[in-house]
Structure 1
Amino acid sequence: MSLSQIPDNDELMQRISRDLVDSYDEELELELEDRAFDGEGHYQVDDKAARQAYFRELFRLQGELVKLQDWVQNTGQKVVILFEGRDAAGKGGVIKRITQRLNPRVARVAALPAPNDRERTQWYFQRYVAHLPAAGEMVLFDRSWYNRAGVERVMGFCDEAEYEEFFRTVPDFERMLVRSGIKLIKYWFSITDEEQHLRFLGRIHDPLKQWKLSPMDLESRRRWEAYTKAKETMLERTHIEEAPWWLVPADDKKKARLNCISHLLGQLPYQAVQHPPVELPARVRNPDYLRHPPPPEMIVPQVY
C-alpha cells in the first residue's frame, strides 16, 4: 500500500466498524445451527426482540470472559471447567460461545475420544491429567473423567469393580487438583426427555447436523432411564465441597448459555487488568523495497 492509499481517519473508522460487524456475523452463523425443530419437519423462527436481547447479553458476557482470560493469564491462574450432560444437552454450544472470542492458547478445549488399547491399561485418570492447565491457562473439558460414571456404566464398558473404584478415587483426585492450585468447576446440563427427543429429530432431519448422531447417541436414547439412574448416583457420590456440581437447566439453549456463562464469571474473583495504551508503530518504508506480484496461476479463483 502506498502513502496515497492509506485511508483517512473517517474511512479507517468505517473499515474498523465493518470488521466489527463481520465478527458479529460469526455469531449469527453459529445461531443458524439452533433453529428450533417443532417435531413435524418445520423450523420455528425466534422472536426478533428476544433474539436481539439474547445477542446483547451474550456479547456483554463475552466481553467479561475476555477480562477473565486476561486476569487468568496475568495472575497465573489454573482453571478447569467440566461440561457433562446427556447427548444433545447443549454442552458443545456453550463451550463454543465461551471460547469464541478468547485466545485458544489461553482457553483450550479438551474433547477426548474413546481410549485406545494402550490407554485402557493405564491409570484411569492418566489421559486426562495430560490435558490439565499450566499457570495462566483455562481448560474446558467437553466430557471428562465422568465418562466412567455415565456412558461406561450404562453401556457396560467398565465392570462393577472399576465403577466402584472410580467413586472411591475421584473425590481424592479432585481434592488433589484443588490443593495444587487448580480451580475446578463442574457443570451438568439437564434436559427433559421430550427436549432430547426433539433435538434428536432435528439432527435426523437436518443434513448439516446428521454427523452429530452416532449409534451410541441412538442407543443412549433407548436407555434414558438407565442414564438417569447413573446421573443421580454420580451427583450423589461426587458432589464434594471442594468441587461441587452445578446443574444448568438446558431445555432453552440460549438461556442455558447465558446462565452458565454468568455463573462461571461469578465463580472466579477476576478483575480488569490495566495495560498501557497500545500505539501502532509506523511501518518502516525503504526506497529500494519492491513488492513482486505472485504468478496468476497461484491465486485462488474469485468465484464469489
Structure 2
Amino acid sequence: MHEIEQVMLADKPDADPPDPGAVKKLKRKNYERELRKLQVKLCHLQDWVKRTGARIIIVFEGRDAAGKGGTIKAITERVSPRVFRVVALPAPTDRQKTQIFIQRYIEHFPAAGEIVIFDRSWYNRAGVERVMGFCNETEYRRFLDLCPRIERFIVDGGTQLIKFWLEVGKQEQKRRFLARIEDPLRQWKLSAMDLESYGRWYEFSKARDAMFAATDTDDAPWNVVRSDDKRRARLNCIARLIHLIPFKEQKREAVILPKRSKDKAYDDALRKKHFVPERY
C-alpha cells in the first residue's frame, strides 16, 4: 500500500481537518537549525546529480495557500539555480491550447545533471481545470487514463519522478487567505481564481481523491505532506526528498585561493565614479 493510500484511509472522505490550534508549531530556532542540516545534504545531492548526470523531476501540488512556494524556496535557496531549476508556467497561450496537453511541460524536462521542480504541473488538468470547468469531461477522463502511462514512460527513460501533495486544513487555509488580504506584501498572492477555489473546497477535495486514485502508481507514487505548520512541512518534505533519491556524498578536492596579480598602477577612479549614493 502506498503512503498516499495510508493517508487517505486514515480520514473519512471530505471530513473537516483538525483544528489548527491543535497543531504544535515548530519554533523558529529549531526550524532554522534543522533546515541548515537538510540544506547541507541538498548541496551534497547537487554534487552527486552533477557528477552522475542524473535527471530528476519534482512535482509540487496542493490547494491554494498550502505552502508550495515557501517549501520550494527552502529547497532551492542554498543550491545552484542551474542545477535546481524551478518551473512555474503561466496560463497556456492560444497556441499551447492546441498542443498535446503535456507538451508545454515536456520542453522543461531536465537534461543530465539537472533537477526540475514544477510549481504546479500537468496535474492542473485533474485539479483546477476540472473543478473550474476549463476542460470538458472527455479531456479530463483521457488525462486520468493517459497520465500513469506517460509517467511510466518518463521513469523508464531514466528520469526519477517525485510527486508531493501539500495538504492544508480548511481553517488554516482560511487564516492564510485572510493574512494575504490584510498584508500589502502578500496581496499579490491572492487572485480572483484563488477566491473562487476557496469557495469550492469540497469540489477540490473530490477532484484530489479521484486524481490520487488514478495516478498513485508504483512508478510515481504520491507523497502527502501535512502543511498546517509550514516549518514542519518544509522540513518533512526536504527530508523525504533526500530519502527518495539514492545519492552518495561526493568527495571534494581541497581548495586553495591563488595569489592575486599586482596592481601595476591600477587606477580605481573610474569605478568609484559609478557608485550609487549611500542613503542608509
TM norm structure 1: 0.82
Paired residue type of 1:277: A
Corresponding residue number in structure 2 for 1:96: 73
Alignment partners' CA distance in 2, 1:266 and 1:240: 18
- Measured after TM superposition, the shift of residue 272 of structure 1 is 1.0
Alignment partners' CA distance in 2, 1:75 and 1:297: 46
Corresponding residue number in structure 1 for 2:161: 184
SS, match of residue 164 in structure 2:
strand
Question: What are the superposed Cα offsets for residues 186-220 of structure 1, whole Å, 9 maximum, x if unpaired?
Answer: 00000111110000001011110001000000000
- Measured after TM superposition, the shift of residue 297 of structure 1 is 5.7
Is the CA contact 2:163–2:220 (under 8 Å) kept in the aligned structure 1?
yes
Corresponding residue number in structure 2 for 1:58: 35
Structure 1 gap ranges (5+)? 1-37, 39-45
Paired residue type of 1:137: E
SS, match of residue 38 in structure 2:
helix
Alignment of 1:275-294 (within 5 A): 275-285=252-262, 287=264, 289-294=265-270
Structure 2 gap ranges (5+)? 1-19
Identity of aligned pairs, percent? 52
TM norm structure 2: 0.89
Alignment partners' CA distance in 2, 1:235 and 1:222: 22
Question: What are the superposed Cα offsets for residues 113-154 of structure 1, whole Å, 9 maximum, x if unpaired?
Answer: 010000000000100001100010000000000000000001
- Measured after TM superposition, the shift of residue 275 of structure 1 is 2.0
Alignment of 1:151-166 (within 5 A): 151-166=128-143
Partner of residue 193 from structure 2, selected from 201, 209, 216: 216
Structure with larger Rg: 1
Is the CA contact 2:145–2:214 (under 8 Å) kept in the aligned structure 1?
no
SS, match of residue 270 in structure 2:
coil
Corresponding residue number in structure 2 for 1:8: none
Paired residue type of 2:159: I
Q: Identify the structure with bigger relative contact order (alpha carbons < 8 Å, sequence gap 6+).
A: 2
Is the CA contact 2:63–2:168 (under 8 Å) kept in the aligned structure 1?
yes
Partner of residue 271 from structure 1, selected from 206, 223, 248: 248
- Measured after TM superposition, the shift of residue 291 of structure 1 is 2.3
Count, aligned residues: 259
Alignment of 1:121-132 (within 5 A): 121-132=98-109
Question: What are the superposed Cα offsets for residues 36-91 of structure 1, whole Å, 9 maximum, x if unpaired?
Answer: xx9xxxxxxx98x9221111000000000000111111111001000000000000
